[in-house]
Amino acid sequence: MLKTTLLHAVEAGAEQLRHYFNNDDLKISNKEGINNLVTEADHAAEKAIIGAIKAEFPDHFILSEEVGEIVSDSNVKWIIDPIDGTVNFASGIPLCCVSIGVEQNGEMIFGAVYNPFMNEMFFAEKGMGATLNNQRIEVSKKTQVKHSCLVTGFPYTYLDMPNGPLQVFEKLVRKGVPVRRIGSAAIDLCWVAAGRFEGFFEHSLSTWDTAAGYLIVEEAGGRVTDMDGNKYSPYQKKLVATNGLIHDELLDVIHNRKQI
Domain chopping of the chain, boundaries: 2-136, 145-254
Per-residue pLDDT, 236: 95
Is residue 161 predicted with pLDDT exceeding 70? yes
Domain at 145-254, CATH class: alpha beta
**Contacts of 66 by beta carbon, 8 Å cutoff, 6+ apart:** 38, 42, 43, 46, 82
Is residue 156 predicted with pLDDT exceeding 80? no
Is residue 24 predicted with pLDDT exceeding 80? no
Is residue 172 predicted with pLDDT exceeding 80? yes
pLDDT digit string, tens, across residues 36-61:
667 798 999 999 999 999 999 999 99
Residues 99, 147: Cα–Cα separation, whole Å: 30
Residues 241, 232: Cα–Cα separation, whole Å: 9
Closest CA to 231 of 247, 255, 212: 247
Residues 162, 167: Cα–Cα separation, whole Å: 8
On whether the CB atoms of residues 77 and 98 are closer than 8 A, the answer is: no
The band of 35, judged by pLDDT with boundaries at 50, 70 and 90, is low
Question: Strand runs (DSSP E) across 87-148, as ranges?
Answer: 97-104, 107-115, 120-125, 130-132, 135-136
CATH for 2-136 (3.30.1330.60, 3.30.300.30, 2.60.40.10, 3.30.540.10): 3.30.540.10
Residue range 62-91: average pLDDT? 94
